[in-house]
Amino acid sequence: MTIFPNPPTSPQAPSEGGDISLRKLLDALVDRKFLILFSIVVFMLAGYFHASSQPRIYQSDALIQVENRGAMLGLLESLAGGENLGNPTAAELEILQSRMVMGETVDRLDLTVRIEPRRMPWIGDFLVNHGFQHAWFEGLSPGFLRKRLQDGEASLGTPYVWAGESLRISRFELPADREEVPHVLRVTGEDSYELLLDGTTLLSGRAGETVMSEQGYRLFVSQLDAHPGAEFEVRRVSRLSAIGQLQRRFMIMPRGKDSGVYQVFLSGTDRSLTQQTLDTITGVFLTQNVQRQSEEAEKQLAFLDEQIPQVNVQLTEAENQLNAYRAQRDSVDLTFETQNLLSRLVAVENQLTELALAEADLAERFRPTHPNYQALLRQRSQLQSERERLNALIGDLPETQQEVLRLTRDTQVNQQVYVQLLNQRQEMRLLKAGTVGNVRILDNAEMQPGIISPRVSLTTLISGLIGALLASLGVILRLLLSQAIKSPDQLEEVGLPVYATLPDSAEQAKLTRRIRPAGSKLQQDVFRGLLAVADPTELAVEALRSLRTSLYFAMLEAGNNRLMIAGAGPGAGKSFVAANLAAVCAQAGQKVLLIDADMRRGRLHHAFHDKGVPGLSELLAQRIDRSEAIRPTEVEGLDYVSRGTVPPNPSELLMQRSFHDFLQAMSGAYDLVVIDTPPVLAVTDAAVVGKLAGTSLLVVRFGINPPAEIKAAKRRLESAGVRLKGAILNGMEKPTSSRYGHYGNYIYAYR
């Protein structure tokens, strides 16, 4: 509390309200620590509830190996040589995620059937995820369950599905025009059910039996574990939609750089189905890979079976021609140089023949612009150039040597090609019989422990941090954007000396009640009882005692002993200050009269647990005399006058001579007359009363009234000839706790 025995008449101290320092920001956060803690708790609870209400996602993983070799066989394997432009591993991974593999998986497991259990609105998923079962729920709240009587039989229970209840459908066929249409499967007994569409029963059956209807429905429920009355939403989605969802749940991660080993993941809400689905995906992928390799071998065999007879005929013709020419020329032999040319030429011809065979196979599978096809064309061009060079050398030989070389070349080339084709056909037969592909399943699908989503702990923690951030940001923004009075120095700058700063009182809050006056739609805060009586040691009461001392000196210069307590606007606490100031003055031995001059919304009578009528309005209207208007209180030496009936013209009543005479008489009968008035900026009553009061004080609410409002109230009173003696800063908040309970630099209390 601050004591000003001689309040300054002009502002001297610099303002502290307009500068925001880091210390003030920290103090503001500490002041609102309970608000911030409340926000953290609320956000954490909301985050926990949200995360716990989400479907639990499980994950299964498997390990596969993809060897870095393509699907080319036989002649094609050596074709690309060192310039294998494609990436067979990447191609296999794309195949793994393709609709070919995923679609086969969807077909095998019939993943186009979607089953959604019906949950209790808002909290159903939360309860199920925490293990709430139907038996517990039914025993706890039997009156909440929905009852449906059917043919006099026992009623069915709640339609909501609880923890431990499940449904599996192995086959669900329906008319094509009802695809994507939700159906309802309702459990009617221990293992019986009925299928409904828009409330109409389509079919009924039992688990483990195939049920058909005339509308084209066919249903096989493989597992049914739910209480009678439970309902599931069943629908069949399109195959493409099911494949797309499966692809979104599937993920591939490499294990090691260029290792060819990959870990595949699949997530889902059903543990067993997720593992089964991933096993099916890897199985389909492996099967198609082996089949593709087998098909390659089969194509090569067909090609070889077609070429071998043709090469055999060519070989026979070449041998016959060579033998006939030797017989005609009496067994002509080749020189050493000619033998070398022959060997080189035969090698080139063999390679060209191999390329021709490979080109015939490539032409069936690739366009000429394909990298492997282009590699073959480049290699053939080089070999043709080499053959032309060797033929030019052969042209320089004698005619007999040339002819023998040509016939021998044809024979050897055809012979080598024939033998090579026979060997390759044998290799293809062996390869087809033992095809294993270039994919291996190293680890079968296994479920990972626990759940991968939602991460309840992390979500709860992040939600708490968001709550703390938002609450802190709100406190800081309120501090930065607020223009309200936060220190006595701001009032000094306006030209109002501060006579006292009253701290915010928790005890006063306990005395405050909210009421709705008759004829009013709005509730009002009133205080029932005086803080000075209920808790005389309260800090605010001590501050009022200091104000009493300051007023003793201030009113020595006043023309009378009347004190007007006013406020710029509603909610400043002027009635609280007036009533309790009058009480502490009476407790000091003075004879005090408290007048409620707010005849519109005056509430001082509530402080004394009394009625508002009759009072000042009746006195000024001369309906009652002074003895009836003045009422005693429980505080010795303190009397008060209530507002009375709300008149249609309060300002005119205050301006009458009767009010002046009444105050004149009371000034002689009492040591101090305290007058509580309406807000200055709302009505003119305060200006009228202020002309008759020797001393006027303005109550300012900490953090509520801005400086502009105080200036406007001061100007209005001064324009009416009322000079404000000073101000009372009410509701000063305690910024930080300390041993001495300090309030900034203005209020101190020694405990």
Domain ranges of the chain: 25-54+454-479, 113-120+128-236, 296-438, 538-723
pLDDT-above-70 percentage for the chain: 80
Backbone angles phi, psi at 61, to 5 degrees: -135, 155
pLDDT of residue 7: 44
Could you tell me the CA-to-CA distances from 695 to 36, 206, 476, 724 in Å, in that order? 43, 93, 39, 7
Residue 150 has pLDDT above 50, yes or no: no
Pairing of strands 250-254, 261-268: antiparallel
For 212-228, write each residue's pLDDT tens digit.
Answer: 998 899 999 999 999 99
Q: Which among 309, 390, 394, 307 is positioned nearest to 347, based on CA atoms? A: 390
Residue 330 has pLDDT above 60, yes or no: no
> Which of 77-81, 427-431, 701-705, 738-742 has the highest average model confidence (pLDDT)?
701-705
71-91 mean pLDDT: 53
322-333 mean pLDDT: 63
For 233-254, write each residue's pLDDT tens digit.
Answer: 999 999 999 999 999 999 999 9
Residue 40 has pLDDT above 90, yes or no: yes
Expressed in angstroms, the distance from the first to the final Cα of the chain is: 13
Burial class (CB in 10 A: 0-12, 13-18, 19+), 598: buried
Q: Which of 298-307, 514-523, 627-636 has the lowest mean pLDDT?
A: 514-523
Taking the C-alpha atoms of residue 593 and residue 635, their distance in angstroms, rounded to an integer, is 11
Burial class (CB in 10 A: 0-12, 13-18, 19+), 439: buried
Burial class (CB in 10 A: 0-12, 13-18, 19+), 632: exposed
Residue 726 has pLDDT above 50, yes or no: yes
Q: Please tell me what DSSP assigns to residue 516.
A: -
Taking the C-alpha atoms of residue 64 and residue 253, their distance in angstroms, rounded to an integer, is 11
pLDDT of residue 398: 65
Answer yes or no: are the C-beta atoms of 681 and 568 closer than 8 Å: yes
Q: Which of 3-12, 259-268, 714-723 has the lowest mean pLDDT?
A: 3-12
Taking the C-alpha atoms of residue 692 and residue 296, their distance in angstroms, rounded to an integer, is 114
Question: Residue 392 — pLDDT band, cuts 50, 70, 90?
Answer: confident
Here the tokens at position 344 are 């080189």
Q: Which among 615, 531, 644 is positioned nearest to 578, based on CA atoms? A: 531
| Residue 282 identity | T
Residue 153 has pLDDT above 80, yes or no: no
If one counts every other C-beta atom within 10 angstroms of the C-beta of residue 748, the result is 14
Answer yes or no: are the C-beta atoms of 297 and 431 closer than 8 Å: yes
Taking the C-alpha atoms of residue 288 and residue 285, their distance in angstroms, rounded to an integer, is 5
| Residue 434 identity | G
pLDDT of residue 101: 95
Strand partners, 697: 565, 726
Answer yes or no: are the C-beta atoms of 673 and 685 closer than 8 Å: no
Residue 9 has pLDDT above 60, yes or no: no
Q: Which among 584, 468, 489, 497 is positioned nearest to 533, based on CA atoms? A: 584
Backbone angles phi, psi at 431, to 5 degrees: -65, -40
475-494 mean pLDDT: 82
pLDDT of residue 83: 44
- Grouping H, G, I as helix, E, B as strand and the rest as coil, residue 453 is strand
Q: Which among 682, 685, 687, 680 is positioned nearest to 722, based on CA atoms? A: 687
Q: Which among 139, 145, 115, 120 is positioned nearest to 130, based on CA atoms? A: 120
Residue 443 has pLDDT above 70, yes or no: yes
Residue 391 has pLDDT above 80, yes or no: no
Residue 745 has pLDDT above 50, yes or no: no
Q: Which long-range contacts (CB under 8 A, 24 or more apart) does 38-45 make?
A: 38/471, 39/467, 39/468, 39/470, 39/471, 40/464, 40/467, 40/468, 40/471, 41/464, 41/467, 42/467, 43/463, 43/464, 43/466, 43/467, 43/468, 43/470, 44/460, 44/461, 44/463, 44/464, 44/467
For 515-560, write each residue's pLDDT tens digit.
Answer: 766 655 566 777 888 888 888 888 889 999 988 988 888 788 888 9
Which residue shows structure tokens 């994919």? 439
Does the global pTM surpass 0.75?
no
Taking the C-alpha atoms of residue 525 and residue 130, their distance in angstroms, rounded to an integer, is 45
Instruction: Output the DSSP codes for 195-245.
Output: EEETTEEEEEEETTSEEE-TTS-EEEEEEEE--TT-EEEEEE--HHHHHHH
Q: Which residue has the higher pLDDT, 342 or 527?
A: 527
688-709 mean pLDDT: 90
538-723 CATH fold? Rossmann fold (3.40.50)
Strand partners, 676: 565, 596
Taking the C-alpha atoms of residue 330 and residue 333, their distance in angstroms, rounded to an integer, is 9
Could you tell me the CA-to-CA distances from 500 to 1, 5, 116, 287, 577 in Å, in that order? 7, 10, 68, 91, 11
Answer yes or no: are the C-beta atoms of 563 and 721 closer than 8 Å: no
300-311 mean pLDDT: 74
- Grouping H, G, I as helix, E, B as strand and the rest as coil, residue 334 is coil
pLDDT of residue 143: 47
Residue 75 has pLDDT above 60, yes or no: no
pLDDT of residue 459: 95
Nearest-10 Cα torsion for 39, 43, 44, 46: 140
Strand partners, 447: 60
Q: Please tell me what DSSP assigns to residue 121.
A: T
For 350-369, write each residue's pLDDT tens digit.
Answer: 777 778 767 776 776 677 78
576-584 mean pLDDT: 93
Answer yes or no: are the C-beta atoms of 164 and 133 closer than 8 Å: yes
Q: Which of 17-21, 674-678, 745-749 has the lowest mean pLDDT?
A: 745-749
Taking the C-alpha atoms of residue 686 and residue 675, their distance in angstroms, rounded to an integer, is 10
- For 198: left if phi > 0, alpha if psi spans -120 to 50, otherwise beta; the answer is left
Question: Residue 435 — pLDDT band, cuts 50, 70, 90?
Answer: low
> Which of 224-238, 502-516, 601-615, 702-716 has the highest average model confidence (pLDDT)?
224-238
Q: Which long-range contacts (CB under 8 A, 24 or more apart) does 295-300 make?
A: 296/71, 296/72, 296/73, 297/73, 297/428, 297/431, 297/432, 297/435, 298/432, 299/361, 299/364, 300/73, 300/74, 300/361, 300/424, 300/428
Pairing of strands 231-236, 183-187: antiparallel
Exposure of 708 in the CB half-sphere (CA atoms within 13 A)? 2
pLDDT of residue 44: 96
588-597 mean pLDDT: 93
pLDDT-above-90 percentage for the chain: 40
pLDDT of residue 324: 73
Which residue shows structure tokens 């021709």? 356
Q: Which of 111-115, 246-250, 735-739 has the lowest mean pLDDT?
A: 735-739
Answer yes or no: are the C-beta atoms of 269 and 57 closer than 8 Å: yes
Strand partners, 575: none
pLDDT of residue 18: 47
For 271-281, write each residue's pLDDT tens digit.
Answer: 999 999 999 99
124-150 mean pLDDT: 66
Nearest-10 Cα torsion for 651, 657, 658, 659: 50
